[in-house]
Amino acid sequence: MSVAYLVILAISLLLDSTSAGVPLPRYEALLKQQSAPEDPTLGLYDDGDKVVKLTVENFNSTVVDQNRGALVEFYNTYCGHCRRFAPTYKTVAEHLLPWSEVLIVAAIDCAAEENNAVCRNYEVMGYPTLRYLGPGFQPGPQHFGQNLKTQDVNEIRELLAGMVAAENLTSSHNNSYWPNVHYLTENDSASSLFEGLSSVKQYVAVVHEPENTTLGIEVALFMTQWPAVEVRRVIDPAASAKFKIDPANLPLSLVNRLGEIEAYAPEYANGESYAKKLAEVLGKKNITPRPIKVPQPVSTPSIKITGQNELIKEVQRNKHFVYQADLEQAIRTVLHNEVAKVSEISGEKLLALQRFLAVLQRYNPLGANGHQLVSKLKDYVVQFNEVLTGKEFEEELKRLEGQQSPVYSSTHFVGCAGSSPRLRGFSCSLWTLFHFMTVQAARNDDSQDPLEVLQAMHGYIKHFFGCTECSEHFQAMASRRKIWSVPNKEEAVLWLWAAHNEVNQRLAGDATDDPEFPKKQFPSPDSCSECYRSPGSKSENLEIEWNKDAVLGFLKNIHNPQFVSRYGVQREELLHPTADKMRQKRQISSVFTDIDMRMGMLLYAFCIVMMVLAFKLFAFKGYRKKPYGHDLLGKV
Ligand SMILES: Cc1cc2nc3c(=O)[nH]c(=O)nc-3n(C[C@H](O)[C@H](O)[C@H](O)COP(=O)(O)OP(=O)(O)OC[C@H]3O[C@@H](n4cnc5c(N)ncnc54)[C@H](O)[C@@H]3O)c2cc1C
Ligand SMILES: *[C@@H]1O[C@H](CO)[C@@H](O)[C@H](O)[C@H]1NC(C)=O
Ligand SMILES: *[C@@H]1O[C@H](CO)[C@@H](O)[C@H](O)[C@H]1NC(C)=O
Ligand SMILES: *[C@@H]1O[C@H](CO)[C@@H](O)[C@H](O)[C@H]1NC(C)=O
Ligand SMILES: *[C@@H]1O[C@H](CO)[C@@H](O)[C@H](O)[C@H]1NC(C)=O
Ligand SMILES: *[C@@H]1O[C@H](CO)[C@@H](O)[C@H](O)[C@H]1NC(C)=O
C-alpha cells in the first residue's frame, strides 16, 4: 500500500514539477510566502492604541494582584461585534489614560489559541466581555472580576469610577495615587483638610458630587497626574458651604495651606471639564502635572503578509470556489480554540459537541489522518455523560494530533483570507464547513435524518461559536425560519443557503465588511445565471426570484469533494487523490506569470481542446455541456 502511495506521490510531484511547467522549488517558495498565517497575536489593537495588549505571557504580571486596577476586554478578533466595538474601546482607553496609575485599560484576544487557558479560566461566556479586576485581584472559584454590562463610553467611565470608589485597599496594595474616596463632612475645615497629607500637597480641590453620581471620584482620577493636588468630594450641603461651594453655580473650589478658598465654575458637568478648569487655575499658580506614563503595551511584531495579494486576486477570479484550506482552518479553529477554551462542557453543551463531532466524522473533508483524528476524538468525547473540561479536551486533542500527525494539509485561509488579517477568516470558514457538510449529507445515504447537519450546526453555534451576537441572531433566525421543520436533506442544503443569504443581506455595507469582498446574495449571476429566474430583474418586492433547483445543483457542484479547490494547500499528499487533479493544477499554476509556463499552459489547453473536440466528434455526439461550467472541461 505504501509503495503504491509513494508511486502516486512521485507521479504527482513529477506532474507538479514538470507537466504543469512549474519548477518545484519556486512552487514551494510561493506556498511558503502565501502561508504566512493570519498572525493570531495581531488582535484588534495596535501599538498606536492606548489599549494594553494582554496575552497568556503577560496577563498575570499585568492585571493579577497588582496595586492598580484594570479594565479587561475579552474579545475574539473574528467576532463582528467585537470589531465594531473596537473603536469605542480605543476611545475609552484614550479617554481614561490620565487614570492609568489607578486603572489601566487592557484587552486579550481569545481567538488566539495561545490565550485559550486564560479565556477558559476566566469563564468568558460571551464576546466582547468587559471585566474590572481591582487592585490585589486574585482569580478564584466564581471570582473572575466584575462584569460591566455596557458598551457606552460614559457608562463605562461611571461604572469604573464607582468600582474604584468601592475598593477597600488592603495595606499590601497601597497605591499613593488612589483617590481619597471619603466624603467631607461638616466637621472638616479648611485647616483640617491638610492633616496627615504629605507636604507635596499644596492644594485640596473640593468637588461637589451630585447624589448618585461618581463625579468627584472621576475628577480625582483625572487629576492623578497632579502631585500637588488632593481631590476630595462632598455631598452634604452644610459641608459644601464651608468650602464656598454653591452646587448650582460654583460646584468646585480650591483650598490652600493658608486656609484660603476660591470657588470655580467648570464649563461642563463632567470630570474632564472639572479637571480642565483646575488645570487652568493651577497653571496660573505655576503648578504643573507630571507627564502621563503610558501603560507599556507589549510590542507585537508587525507582520507583512507577502503573497496575500496574489492569493486574493486568485480567489476573486473564482469567487464561488470552496477551498480545502478553509475547511481545514475551520475544523482546526473549532477544535483548538472554540471548544478548548470552554471551561466546563456539560449538559446540552456536551450533547452539542458530541453531535457536532459525529457529523464531522461522517462528512469530514480532512485526509486519512484527519479521519482517524476526528473519529478517535469523537469516541473520546462520547464516553463522557457528565462533565468534560475544555482542558481535558485540549489535552486529548493534542495527544491524538501527535499520534496522527500530520493531520492538516494547510495552515492558512485561502478563500476566506481577508484583505486585512482582521477581516473574514474563521466565521467565513465556519459557514463554508457547514455548507459543505449539508451537501455531503445530501449526497450520501448513510443517514436519512434531514436535520442531522442543521441540528449539529445549531448546537455548535449556540454553545461554542465565539461570536456571541452572531449566535443570538442565528438562533432567532433558526426558529423564525422553522429550522426544525426542514423535510429532507436537499431542503437542508437550501435552508442553510437561504439563511446565510439573509445574514449577507443584513450585513451588506456593514463596517466589518471586507471592501475586497462585499457581501452579496450568493451565488452571483456571474457564477450561476441559471440560479436566477429572470436575470438582472427582480420581482415587485425587490426579492430575487431564485431557481431553487439550479441553486441546489450549483451548491452540490461547488461542494463536491472532487471540485473542492486545493489551491494553496501545502501538503496535498495528505488528501485523497481526486479525479479533478488537473483542474486545480491549472489554478495553482495560474499564479505564476512565467512566460514559459504560459506557453506550456497554452499547449496544454490546446491539447485538451483537441481532445474534447475529438471526443465530441467521435464518441459522444449527444454530449451536453455541464450546466455549471467551473471545471476545466466546461470552461474550454
Ligand atoms: C452562523 C453565523 C452567524 C453569523 N451572524 C453574524 C451576525 O449576526 N453579525 C455579524 O456581524 N456577523 C455574523 N456572522 C459573520 C458573517 O456572516 C461573516 O461570516 C463574516 O462577516 C465574514 O464574511 P465573508 O465576506 O468572509 O463571507 P461569509 O458570509 O462568511 O461567507 C463565506 C463564504 O461562503 C460563501 N457564501 C456566501 N453566501 C452563501 C450562501 N448563501 N450559501 C452558500 N455559500 C455562501 C461565499 O463563498 C463566501 O465567501 C455570522 C457567521 C456565522 C457562521
Ligand atoms: C496565572 O495565574 C494562574 C493562577 O492565578 C495560574 O493558574 C496560571 O498558570 C498563571 N499563568 C501563567 C502564565 O503564569
Ligand atoms: C476594609 O478592609 C478591612 C480589612 O481588610 C476591614 O476591616 C474593613 O471593615 C473593610 N471596610 C469596608 C468598608 O469594607
Ligand atoms: C505602601 O507600599 C510601600 C511599597 O510601595 C511600602 O513600603 C509601605 O510599607 C506600604 N504602606 C503600608 C501602610 O502598608
Ligand atoms: C462631627 O463631630 C461630632 C463631635 O465630634 C460627632 O458627634 C459627629 O458624629 C461628627 N459628624 C460627622 C458627620 O462625622
Ligand atoms: C439616588 O438613589 C437612591 C436609591 O437608588 C434613590 O432612592 C434616590 O432617589 C436617588 N437620588 C437622586 C437624586 O436621583
Which domain CATH number covers 221? 3.40.30.10
Residues 167 and 187 reside in one and the same domain: no
Residue 30 three-state SS: helix
Residues 167 and 196 reside in one and the same domain: no
Ligand closest to the CA atom of residue 118:
2
Residues 413 and 556 reside in one and the same domain: yes
CATH number at residue 355: 1.20.120.310
Percent of the chain residues past pLDDT 90, beyond the cut: 61
Evaluate whether residue 15 is within a structural domain.
no
Evaluate whether residue 358 is within a structural domain.
yes
Judge if the beta carbon of residue 559 lies within 6 A of ligand 1: no
Residues 365 and 509 reside in one and the same domain: yes
Evaluate whether residue 297 is within a structural domain.
no
Q: End-to-end alpha-carbon separation of the chain, Å?
A: 36
**Residue 500, pLDDT score:** 97
Atom of ligand 1 nearest to the CA of 499: 41
Judge if the beta carbon of residue 296 lies within 6 A of ligand 5: no
**Residue 317, pLDDT score:** 83
Local confidence band at 368 (pLDDT 50, 70, 90 cut-offs): very high
Judge if the beta carbon of residue 325 lies within 6 A of ligand 1: no
Local confidence band at 536 (pLDDT 50, 70, 90 cut-offs): low
Residues 470 and 350 reside in one and the same domain: yes
List the domain range (segments joined by +) for residue 481: 308-313+321-574
Residues 361 and 497 reside in one and the same domain: yes
Residues 452 and 414 reside in one and the same domain: yes
Nearest CA to ligand 6 atom 1: 212
Local confidence band at 295 (pLDDT 50, 70, 90 cut-offs): confident
Residues 422 and 560 reside in one and the same domain: yes
Ligand closest to the CA atom of residue 212:
6
Residues 280 and 368 reside in one and the same domain: no
Q: What is the mean pLDDT of the chain?
A: 84
Atom of ligand 2 nearest to the CA of 138: 5
Residue 381 · residue 388 · CB < 8 Å = yes
**Residue 497, pLDDT score:** 97
**Residue 419, pLDDT score:** 82
What nine digits make up the cell of 43?
488582535
Choose between 303 and 216: higher pLDDT.
Answer: 216
Q: Among 115, 143, 171, identify where a domain stops.
A: 171
Distance CA 54, CA 133 (A): 14
Judge if the beta carbon of residue 474 lies within 6 A of ligand 1: yes
Q: What is the pLDDT of residues 52-77, one digit of tens each?
A: 999 988 999 899 988 899 999 999 99
Among 465, 577, 592, which residue's Cα sits nearest to residue 29? 592
**Residue 148, pLDDT score:** 96
Distances (CA, A) of 271 to 206, 221, 222, 224, 286: 13, 8, 7, 12, 22
Phi and psi torsions of 34, nearest 5°: -70, -25
Q: Indicate whether 590 pLDDT > 60.
A: no
Dihedral of CA atoms 496, 501, 507, 513 in degrees, nearest 10, equals 90
**Residue whose C-alpha cell reads 449571476 in the numeric block:** 525
Cis peptide before 515 (omega within 30 of 0): no
Choose between 604 and 96: higher pLDDT.
Answer: 96
Distance CA 242, CA 233 (A): 13
Residues in the ligand 3 pocket, defined by CB under 6 Å: 168, 170
Q: Which of 168, 174, 176, 198 to mutate to test the pocket of ligand 4 (most atoms within 8 A of CB)?
A: 174
**Residue 316, pLDDT score:** 83
Residues 167 and 189 reside in one and the same domain: no
Average of pLDDT values for 200-226?
95
Q: Indicate whether 32 pLDDT > 50.
A: no
